Amino acid sequence: MALTLATTNPGEPEIFASLQGEGPSIGRSVAFVRLSRCNLACVWCDTPYTWHWTGDNRPHRGEETHDRAANQLVLEEAEVARRIAAFAKPRLVVTGGEPLLQGRALARMLALLPPGIAVEVETNGTVAPHPDLDPLIAQYNVSPKLAHSGNSADLALPPERLAHWANETRAFFKFVIATPDDVAEVLALVETHAIAHNRIWLMAEGTDTATLGSRERWLAGLCLAHDMNLSPRLHIALYGDTRGT
């Protein structure tokens, strides 16, 4: 029984310790595990090595594709748990890709961890948590993908899934924002699904500090105007756009 992980280098799984860089837990000392594969294809995705394989013609602004064998690794669940436990962190962030695609295997792995570790899952919100996994999760960081992601709304914003997350008290919402029009789209979704504004984090799209800083300056005003939260991208400021950070 195994999980499919992303790699930092060929043959090395992306399991690491860092500070959470985004959303409601920003700045917390955590362990990370990055799973491979995604059911969406965001044109600005900053981890295309988890899904944009050689031969995949779906658009991505970087245009490059990635060798699957070098960027994906299958690892036994017990070994994944052992590596995570070795960091002795009180919190684990499971990211991707789309982690909930591997919900059952993820549940088995989490059951092998030492007790007391709080688990966050970062998800695009389109996949239902596996019944074995859901009781093991302390927090869901749900990042629905807006029109500028390049995904169709039918695929990226299924109403039944958004309704589920809106009623899930463990779920917080993080929207990637490139222009003020994206905020208008967020507000429409918030109204439709009655999502409390204090559960929403708006985060500028970008993988360099200049782009992020420029967008955060006008985004801050919109957060204030609509009583929503601003999420920086702390890991980009600290380490740049690099794997394993």
Task: Give me the pLDDT at residue 163, please.
Answer: 98
**How far is residue 210's CA from residue 233's CA, in Å, rounded to a whole number?**
12
Distances (CA, A) of 200 to 114, 135, 204: 31, 23, 13
222 located within any domain? no
Q: What is d(CA 160, CA 59) in angstroms, rounded to the nearest whole number?
A: 27
Which pLDDT does position 230 carry in this prediction? 98
Instruction: Note the pLDDT of residue 35.
Output: 98
**Contact yes or no for 40/149 (Cβ under 8 A):** yes
- Please report whether residue 99 resides in a domain: yes
Contact 62, 48 (CB under 8 A): yes
Angle, in degrees to the nearest 10, between helices 77-86 and 103-110: 50
- Measured CA to CA, the distance from residue 169 to residue 235 in angstroms comes to 27
Half-sphere exposure of 55 (CA within 13 A, CB side): 2
| 178 within domain boundaries | no
Q: In the prediction, which pLDDT does 8 show? A: 98
pLDDT for the residue numbered 30: 98
Tokens representing 201 are 């984090």
Given a contact cutoff of 8 angstroms between Cβ atoms, the answer to whether 15 and 8 are in contact is no
| pTM for the predicted model, two decimal places | 0.97
User: Is residue 117 in some structural domain?
Assistant: yes
pLDDT 10s digit of each residue in the chain, 245 long? 999 999 999 999 999 999 999 999 999 999 999 999 999 999 999 999 999 999 999 999 999 999 999 999 999 999 999 999 999 999 999 999 999 999 999 999 999 999 999 999 999 999 999 999 999 999 999 999 999 999 999 999 999 999 999 999 999 999 999 999 999 999 999 999 999 999 999 999 999 999 999 999 999 999 999 999 999 999 999 999 999 99
* 3-state secondary structure (DSSP) of residue 95: strand
For residues 177 and 205, the answer to whether their CB atoms sit within 8 Å is yes
Cα gap 15→230, rounded to integer Å: 27
Q: Are 52 and 60 in contact (CB under 8 A)?
A: yes
Q: Which two tokens stand for residue 139?
A: 């927090």
Q: What is the pLDDT of residue 199?
A: 98
Q: Is residue 7 part of a domain?
A: yes
Q: What's the pLDDT score for residue 203? A: 98
Q: What is the pLDDT of residue 28?
A: 98
Q: How many domains does the chain have?
A: 1
For residue 135, give both structure tokens. 């009781």
- Supply the range of the domain harboring residue 124: 2-173
Q: How many whole angstroms separate alpha carbon 210 and alpha carbon 199?
A: 27
Q: Does 66 map to a domain?
A: yes
Is 207 inside a domain boundary?
A: no
Q: What pLDDT score does 52 carry?
A: 98
Specify the CATH number for the domain of residue 39.
3.20.20.70
